[in-house]
Amino acid sequence: MEVQDGAELCFPQLVNTSCRKPTSHRFQDVFVHVVLSSISVPTVVLNLLVIISVSHFRQLHTPTNILLLSLAVSDFLVGIVLLPGEIYLQTQCWFLGDAICSLYFYLGYIVLCTSVGNMVLISIDRYVAICHPLHYPTRVTVTKAKLCVFLCWFCSVFYSSVVFKDILNQPGINDSCDGECIVVISYIAIVSDLVLSFIAPVMAIILLYMRIFVVAVSQAHAMRSHTAAVTHQHSVTLSKRKSELKAARTLGVLIFVFLICFCPYYCVSLARASPYSVTLASIMFYLNSCLNPLIYALFYPWFRKAVKHIVTLQILQPGSCEVSML
């Protein structure tokens, strides 16, 4: 390696094997660093509020909220691990060792797979609630939701372990110089990842919500037709159906935003776009983890009420977990 200034190297004493230090003089590099830094802290704080809210208040222990809790955990990991790691990778030489480098990408892959799995589970939950409302209380319970969340995380860890088996066994195998942190997965892994982590889940989500949309429109029309003359019992039923439809719309927004932020990441990767395009697509993916709790705050009164109790430290009072949030 030819260098004019030893200070430009990550390890000046290793002239022949050291990587060059990253530079951030271009406007686009500075822009990326500012954006990543600005969304890291809100992502951690907002998703931590979601985790505390759903975990603490018993009234929020519903199957849907259990799925949102799992999504918040994966988003929290994005904010506290992946975003700082991404900033570090782009601004500094990698001084944390090859093992930590492999673990960083391994954890990122787990979080990615789990986020996709959570979105599929949320779509299935809304599908059953809207399309099979009479069977929803028995088919979808808190226990079953917890089991599905566990299986989602377990499958993500197992699948990621298979993909990263060689990289975990031989950390740094893909590094071309000291101070670098990259991973390269096999072509077979890329194809399987494309199918299992992108095409199949996205198609499932789209098909489920197309069906939900058709049924929701017909149900909304039916409710408007019968609102004028209903008994009290029917009124309660209609109120419950309106609540389910509102939840479907809210989670539909959540999934729509996810697809907008998620699809570019795979599209630019498959198109072999420029590194800067890949970075922008990664920012979109990271941004989704910050937007999710903002969607809850915008559409869910229970989340705003829970945040108020948390911020004012009312959750430290005895019996606070029994406070009504709905």
Q: Residue 139: is its pLDDT beyond 70? A: yes
CA 23 – CA 29 distance, rounded (Å):
8
* Tokens 């802290």 found at: 41
Higher-confidence position of 80 and 265 = 80
Dihedral angle, C-alpha 180, 113, 289, 133, nearest 10 °: 180
- pLDDT tens digits, one per residue of 247-265: 667 778 888 888 888 888 7
| Least confident stretch, 9-23, 135-149, 256-270 | 9-23
- pLDDT tens digits, one per residue of 1-12: 444 444 577 777
- pLDDT tens digits, one per residue of 49-63: 999 999 999 999 999
User: Which CATH class name applies to 36-219+242-322?
Assistant: mainly alpha
Q: What is the mean pLDDT of residues 80-90?
A: 88
Kindly list the domain boundaries of the chain, sorted by start residue: 36-219+242-322
Q: Residue 223: is its pLDDT beyond 80? A: no
Cβ–Cβ contacts within 10 Å for residue 100, how many? 13
Burial of 27 (0-12, 13-18, 19+ CB in 10 A): exposed
H helix intervals, the chain: 27-56, 63-77, 83-91, 98-131, 136-139, 142-163, 165-169, 187-194, 200-226, 232-270, 275-299, 301-311
Q: Residue 83: is its pLDDT beyond 70? A: yes
CA distances to 84, 137, 144, 298, 324 from 168, rounded to whole Å, are: 21, 43, 33, 41, 47
DSSP 8-state code for residue 81: I
CA 162 – CA 326 distance, rounded (Å):
43
Q: What is the mean pLDDT of residues 75-85?
A: 93
Q: Residue 224: is its pLDDT beyond 70? A: no
Question: Residue 2 has what pLDDT?
Answer: 43
Q: What is the rounded average pLDDT for all residues in the chain? A: 83
Is the separation of the CB atoms in 16 and 59 below 8 Å? no
Q: What is the mean pLDDT of residues 184-196?
A: 81
- What SS3 state is found at 96? coil
Nearest to 208 by CA among 302, 124, 91: 124
Contacts for 202 with CB less than 8 Å, ≥ 6 apart = 259, 262, 263
For 67, the token pair is 């799925």
Q: HSE of 174 in the Cβ direction (CA atoms, 13 Å)?
A: 15
For 156, the token pair is 């993500």
| pLDDT tier, 273 (very low <50, low <70, confident <90, very high otherwise) | low
Q: At what angle do helices 200-226 and 232-270 cross, to 10 degrees?
A: 150
Q: Residue 6: left (phi > 0), alpha (psi -120 to 50), or beta?
A: alpha
| Least confident stretch, 24-33, 53-62, 251-260, 306-315 | 24-33
Q: What is the pTM of this model?
A: 0.87
